[in-house]
């Protein structure tokens, strides 16, 4: 099988990550990449890392070659994909949206958080939330995938074994998360300037981050009941990576949770449970599709601490999207994604 792939919104970091990873894929070829701002430019002019590797030229999003694709990735801001995906689905072309348009099941709730009306609320029922470790069978049969956000990916993988086995109090979950600057995208943003972000560390979105309803929705589906969630993201002075430190209360403090994590992910290629007493580092998963998780019970506070790390651009975006693509077309799930973390 040789898949023809299109990328809509290929001017950002996620777009070039899709190109980088798909270049290593044995069964996929990118035949079109779009950007209104970069129309007519070679990809290699914008991303020198692609020099001598990609001869693609940016076209407009209405380029008819996109309808020759087997699958189209939307690496676009929220509000873009929902106005375009229907035309692809009607022609039997599968779609993976790396934006937020189909992640929240309730269109009214989506509108509250994204400050615009959802124009394709009917498609929300058709879209599958693309977290393979949770919804693998549904993804295999899907035509439209809502690729999870970066923070949700790290948090949900960390809590899945605990919620599904009813080991914690779901009413008091604290997710203290940190991300590198690439999570803000490749746009002009004063807060992301070197002099603004370097040698500093700050919280943001404390009163409400757009990933909050997505995380809460998926946690409640795992738990089968309402959850109480406090989610606070932070910006750290690094380029790639997310670290989530999550605090929960065990229902029975005598339970050793390590085996639950090991059993939950023993057959998962991209989730690695670290030995007791070992703490994950973002550099260990840099440029890879892996998630590393460790758990530690803090006896003096009766708290369980779960630590989860991913690369926000790979497992938190492009890598997970390609993992979903592999499942949708019956390919080996690991295809194109075998790179381990870059060290140092």
The span from the CA of 179 to the CA of 234, in Å, is 6
Helices and strands, counts by H and E, the chain: 10, 13
The span from the CA of 201 to the CA of 74, in Å, is 31
Of 69, 143, 150, 291, which is the active-site residue? 150
Catalytic, 150? Answer yes
Name the residue among 129, 130, 152, 124 with its Cα closest to residue 210. 152
Contact call for residues 253 and 302 (beta carbons, < 8 A): yes
Contact call for residues 244 and 158 (beta carbons, < 8 A): yes
∠ Cα 236 242 246 (to 5°): 100
Helix spans in 120-230 (H): 132-140, 150-164, 194-197, 211-223
Write out 115-137 in H/E/C secondary structure: CCCCCCHHHHCCCEECCHHHHHH
Read off φ and ψ for residue 313, nearest 5 degrees: -90, -15
Catalytic residues: 150
């Amino acid at each position: 099988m040789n898949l023809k792939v299109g990328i809509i919104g290929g001017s950002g970091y996620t777009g070039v990550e899709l190109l980088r990873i798909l270049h290593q894929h044995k069964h996929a070829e990118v035949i079109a990449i779009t950007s209104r701002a970069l129309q007519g430019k070679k990809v290699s002019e914008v991303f020198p890392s692609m020099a001598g590797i990609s001869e693609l030229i940016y076209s407009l999003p209405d380029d008819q070659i996109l309808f020759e694709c087997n699958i189209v990735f939307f690496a676009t801001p929220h509000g873009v994909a929902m106005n375009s995906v229907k035309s692809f689905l009607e022609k039997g072309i599968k779609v993976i949206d790396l934006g937020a348009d189909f992640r929240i099941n309730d269109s009214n709730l989506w509108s509250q958080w994204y400050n615009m009306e959802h124009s394709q609320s009917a498609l929300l029922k058709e879209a599958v939330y693309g977290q393979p470790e949770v919804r693998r069978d549904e993804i295999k049969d899907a035509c439209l995938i809502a690729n999870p956000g970066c923070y949700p990916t790290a948090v949900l993988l960390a809590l899945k074994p605990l919620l599904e086995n009813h080991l914690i109090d779901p009413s008091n979950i604290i997710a203290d998360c940190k991300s590198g600057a690439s999570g803000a995208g490749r746009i002009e943003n004063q807060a992301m300037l070197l002099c603004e972000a370097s040698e500093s560390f700050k919280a943001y979105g404390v009163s409400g981050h757009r990933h909050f309803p997505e995380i809460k929705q998926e946690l409640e589906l795992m738990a089968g009941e309402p959850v109480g969630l406090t989610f606070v993201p932070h910006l750290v002075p690094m380029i790639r990576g997310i670290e989530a430190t999550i605090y929960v209360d065990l229902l029975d403090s005598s339970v050793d949770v390590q085996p639950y994590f090991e059993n939950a992910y023993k057959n998962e290629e991209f989730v690695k449970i670290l030995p007791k007493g070992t703490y994950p580092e973002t550099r260990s998963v840099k440029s890879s599709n892996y998630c590393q998780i460790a758990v530690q019970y803090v006896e003096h506070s009766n708290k369980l601490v779960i630590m989860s790390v991913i690369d926000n651009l790979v497992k938190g975006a492009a890598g997970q999207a390609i993992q979903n693509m592999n499942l949708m077309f019956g390919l080996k799930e690991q295809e194109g994604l075998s790179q381990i973390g870059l060290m140092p």
